[in-house]
Structure 1
Amino acid sequence: MKLRHSIGLASFIGLALAGPTLAMDARFKDANGDMVADAPTDAKQWMDPATLVFAYTPVEDPAVYAPVWAPFLDHLSKVTGKKVQFFPVQSNAAQLEAMRAGRLHVSGFNTGSNPIAVNCAGFVPFAMMASKDNRFGYEMEIITFPGSGIEKIEDIKGKRMAFTSETSNSGFKAPSALLRQQFKMEAGKDFTPVFSGKHDNSILGVANKDYPAAAIANSVKGRMESRGVVKPEQTKVIFKSGTFPTTGYGHVYNLKPELAEKVKQAFFTFKWEGTTMEAEFNKGQPPQEKFMPITYKQHWAVVREIDQAMNVSYACK
């Protein structure tokens, strides 16, 4: 499979482009400058729920992931002493609203949703899946199907292109920045954008020839291929980006501090070997075999730069 384009992010994102102020919601405070909301100083504002609600980012059918996450959620329950409930969110918007409203306590937000979750919903990311030697991330790919007539990015002109949702980094924001900055192609003018809702919908749509092209996360495609949901020969890659951080895991800012520390402890003491987590998430490259510590300020810098180039606002709607 020959890639017609494979470049780093900096070559198609104008890092100095003017954009909106990516400001945190007024109800949050960031006294230490780490770019995430501080825990309230008033103990009356802390959350100490009897049942912790956990959600995985809705990149694929939630029903697939409830049993996958079961061993980790059992471990989370033992470490925190709380009951833990898996919340099968159907959309990024539902996930963000649930945390903002106090109904979601621990979660994994996808790459593109992390900044919005941090600034609008009080999300505090602290972990990311990685290999045992701390390799992590995924690439955005623009894919088509063999025989589509699309051999390079410019061939998308006049055709439909599938995105996932407007909050997705690889499913919308990064490819939109690429098309606009490097190829001078605007949605609605040079091609017709359609939104599938999820990466698996976009991948299946291309594999089944419903969409001529789509922007997707190759980590999702790799897992779908390993399960036999799609075959590698059903899709063709015409663009591959540099590496992005993957799903960030964390807790809501006003979780009781002692409980928040136990949540972190659960992530970093979970043993992956022999579990459904290992079986599902170590199929890609790099394999995902543990949770590694991260900071939003450092690991999401490139995503914030894309958001500025795209004039993305973190204001709550």
Structure 2
Amino acid sequence: MRLIAATALLTILALPAVAADWKSDYKVVRFGVLSSENEKDRVARYKPFEAYLKKTLGVDVELFTAGNFDGVIQALAADQIEFAFLGSSAYAAAYTETNGGVIPLLTAVQEDDSTGYFSVITVRCDSPYKNIEDLKGKVLAFADPDSTSGYAVPNYNLVQQGYEPSTYFSATPFSGSHEAGVQGVVNGQFDAAAAYINNEKSGIPQRMVSKGMIKEGEVCNIWMSPEITSGPFTARANLPAELIADMRAALKAIPEADPAAHKEMTGAENSTAKGYVEVDHERYQWIVDMRAWLKAQRKS
């Protein structure tokens, strides 16, 4: 009996050391953010979250950005960063690139309890374009090859609806980011551009209005996709389980632990994200399958 009690006591005493062990191997924890908006605003938006993580995890934390989505995906694959906020398609790309070496942890939940968003095609409101038929022979800008709402979903769904982008439009360039695409529409560089919205209050166009980049009522959506599963906050699968658990807990707690950082990170005044829910890979398998379909179409 004494032996059992002593063993139990030793186990309890050892738990804190085990839980904190990852900190001896990871002096710096790095998380990546996709290029949905310009670099300056992207960095500013995630700085409060970076500070929150440093305080909560008790280690240095660094934000990682890249000029395109693939830069963040490759950083995960090369073990250069530990975590990343990914869109659904970027997660699927990372999953494929790493042969299943990434784990989806959490995704955002909105005020209406939805955990999805929508791809939209935007045009200038004062343009003659009111539907996809009006865009025949015009320039439609996609955002990035690894963007869910900015390329994969609109491309896939337009094909299913009978509009093969490569032949229906005069050109389908990549703008580099959602904001650049919408800005290009406003400036007359593109006739239309793919972006995303969470709902009528929150999304890329609404955020650009709140930042003074475009005017209210300057762009309108003329097409919307079926609902897309929100992208996951993702971890490398080869990380210590304790590190993954601590990061998951930190992100899940931020709406109450640091409301200001959470609000800034999710879009400041036009954000409708209220928190996070846990997700698994099965939720995103259809995106993996869609990307495989798109790849096969390009090869053929």
- TM norm. shorter chain > 0.5: yes
Whether the 8 Å contact between 1:222 and 1:284 is mirrored in structure 2 is no
Equivalent residue of 2:249, what SS? helix
Aligned mates of 1:130, 1:285 — CA distance in 2: 15
Question: Displacement of 1:123 after TM fit?
Answer: 2.2
Match of 1:230 in 2: 214
Whether the 8 Å contact between 2:210 and 2:270 is mirrored in structure 1 is no
Aligned mates of 1:283, 1:87 — CA distance in 2: 20
Match of 1:64 among 41, 44, 47: 41
Alignment RMSD (CA, Å): 2.5
Whether the 8 Å contact between 1:130 and 1:288 is mirrored in structure 2 is yes
Match of 1:80 in 2: 57
Match of 1:138 in 2: 117
Question: Displacement of 1:73 after TM fit?
Answer: 2.2
Match of 1:256 in 2: 240
Match of 2:200 in 1: none
Can you list the C-alpha shifts for 1:66-123, whole angstroms capped at 9, x where unaligned?
A: 2322332233223333210111222111111111111111111122211111231322
Structure (1/2) with the larger helix percentage = 2
Question: Displacement of 1:301 after TM fit?
Answer: 4.0
Can you list the C-alpha shifts for 1:111-165, whole angstroms capped at 9, x where unaligned?
A: 2211111231322111112235632322111111134332220121111110011
Q: Does 1:193 align with 2:172?
A: yes
Aligned mates of 2:264, 2:161 — CA distance in 1: 38
Q: Does 1:129 align with 2:114?
A: no
Match of 1:296 in 2: 281
Q: Does 1:159 align with 2:141?
A: no
Aligned mates of 1:282, 1:90 — CA distance in 2: 20
Q: 1:188 to 1:284 in 2, by over 3 A?
A: farther
- The count of aligned residue pairs is 266
Match of 1:150 among 129, 132, 150: 129
Equivalent residue of 1:255, what SS? coil
Whether the 8 Å contact between 2:263 and 2:269 is mirrored in structure 1 is no
Can you list the C-alpha shifts for 1:238-264, whole angstroms capped at 9, x where unaligned?
A: 111222122310211111222222111
Equivalent residue of 2:255, what SS? coil
Question: Displacement of 1:48 after TM fit?
Answer: 3.3
Worse overlay, 192-201 or 50-59: 50-59
Using the size of structure 1 for normalisation, the TM-score is 0.76
Whether the 8 Å contact between 1:59 and 1:198 is mirrored in structure 2 is yes
Using the size of structure 2 for normalisation, the TM-score is 0.80
User: Which structure has the greater CA radius of gyration?
Assistant: 2
* Partner AA of 2:216 in structure 1: P
Aligned mates of 2:113, 2:279 — CA distance in 1: 11
Match of 1:179 in 2: 158
Equivalent residue of 1:215, what SS? strand
Q: Does 1:246 align with 2:244?
A: no
